[in-house]
């Protein structure tokens, strides 16, 4: 029986625990979560289903285990920024500060 077979060790390893929102790193995750929800709620144009599936699944993984938080940061946050950038380009056609897809 190895490390992963011992329920006692796995339950006490921080990497496998859900994030604690009372710590600074948990509060950064909470800010990212609020950013994603705010970007989805204020836009009239809804994201496509694959986009929403990637964001929702990575969010669920990040809330389940702290080891998945970097995956959320690498996938869901850039997709949210690209979605917000498309809306920025549509509302400000003369804007020079835009991201390319």
Question: What pLDDT is recorded for position 96?
Answer: 58
Environment class of 88 (CB within 10 Å of its CB; exposed 0-12, middle 13-18, buried 19+):
middle
CA distance 62 to 68: 5
Question: What pLDDT is recorded for position 13?
Answer: 80
Question: What pLDDT is recorded for position 66?
Answer: 87
Query: Model confidence over 25-78: pLDDT tens digits?
Result: 889 999 989 988 888 887 777 888 998 899 899 999 999 988 899 999 899 888
Which residue has 């289903």 as its token pair?
A: 49
- Of 4-8, 16-20, 80-84, 87-91, least confident by mean pLDDT is 87-91
Predicted confidence band at 82 (pLDDT cuts at 50, 70, 90)?
A: confident
Question: What pLDDT is recorded for position 95?
Answer: 59
Domain boundaries, the chain: 7-91
- Quick one: average pLDDT of 68-94? 81
């Amino acid at each position: 029986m190895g490390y992963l077979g011992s329920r006692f060790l796995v339950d006490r390893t921080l990497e496998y625990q859900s994030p604690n929102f009372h710590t600074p790193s948990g509060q950064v995750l909470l800010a990212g979560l609020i950013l994603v929800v705010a970007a989805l709620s204020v836009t009239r144009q809804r994201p496509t289903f694959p986009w929403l599936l990637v964001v929702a699944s990575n969010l669920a993984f990040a809330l389940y285990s702290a080891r998945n938080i970097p995956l959320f940061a690498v996938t869901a946050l850039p997709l949210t920024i690209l979605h917000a950038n498309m809306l920025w380009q549509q509302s400000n056609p003369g804007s020079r500060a835009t991201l390319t897809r």
